[in-house]
Amino acid sequence: MAATKAQGVNLEGIEDVFRICGWQTGKAALEQRVVEFVVGTDQRIQSFLREMEKYDRERLQGSPGSENNSERVVEKPVIKRGRPKKTAERIGQTFTYRAKRGETNMRLQKFFQALKQLGWIASDTQQRDFIDLFSGEESFVRVVWLDDVNVLAELFRELVTRKRYIQLPDGYSIWVMVNAHFWNKEGNKEFGNDRLRCTTRPVDKMQTIQWLVRLMNPNQDLELLFREMMA
């Protein structure tokens, strides 16, 4: 459809999300647009978020009321040999995803398109670059993640740790890999391994996450999946 012109919340492409992905996913995408509009235009919220940035730091030793916190001592992470831990380190290793019957590229394309339509990744992300991140071949591409860090972490917990549809390269942990290839929208900064590890389950986005996980299930019949959505 032609781009929808609306004063305020940007509705461009939202109808396509409803049409392709169904009511729940479309509603989640619309809610995300509303949140982005409010955060981007309400000066009180912007001021509040700037003030809250003081909490975006490494966890301090001891409890909030502990004497250990009087000098704001930063807990030093344990360095494990054989695994890259430095947040500034560039990593060329990538995830590996394989579907059956030649469906690998098709599923990754649909995965990419869904994330883009939902507004979870930057609109200028190139499909070829995104797919390369799941090829098992070298790539230093970093995708800008626009949604909440909890959503990113939970999506990869499902795909990598729980369902094992996506494999990690030998010697690399899930958070090292996610941190290496997905950037925070705020100035294209890394999320950091510890921040990813300490995320919580985003209850309001779980239905959308589960749909994306089904999409990446190599045994899921795609025709049936989309037919269920349109029902």
Model pLDDT, residue 185: 87
Please give the mean pLDDT across all residues of the chain. 80
60-76 pLDDT, tens per residue? 334 334 344 434 333 44
**Is residue 129 within 8 Å of 139, Cβ to Cβ?**
yes
pLDDT tens-digit readout, 133-175: 999 999 999 999 999 999 999 999 999 999 999 999 999 999 9
Q: pLDDT > 70: what percent of the chain?
A: 75
Q: Please give the average per-residue pLDDT across 195-223, as a whole number.
A: 94
In this prediction, residue 227 has a pLDDT band, given cuts at 50, 70 and 90, of confident
Residue (of 212, 218, 225) closest to 117 by Cα position: 212
Cα 109 to Cα 181: distance, rounded to the nearest angstrom: 17
pLDDT for res 209: 96
Instruction: For residue 53, name the pLDDT band (cuts at 50, 70, 90).
Output: low
Asked whether the CA dihedral 173, 176, 180, 182 is positive or negative, the reply is positive
pLDDT for 55 equals 65
The answer to whether 84 and 91 have CB atoms below 8 angstroms apart is yes
Residue 4 banded pLDDT, cuts 50, 70, 90: very low
Residue 187: the pLDDT is 65
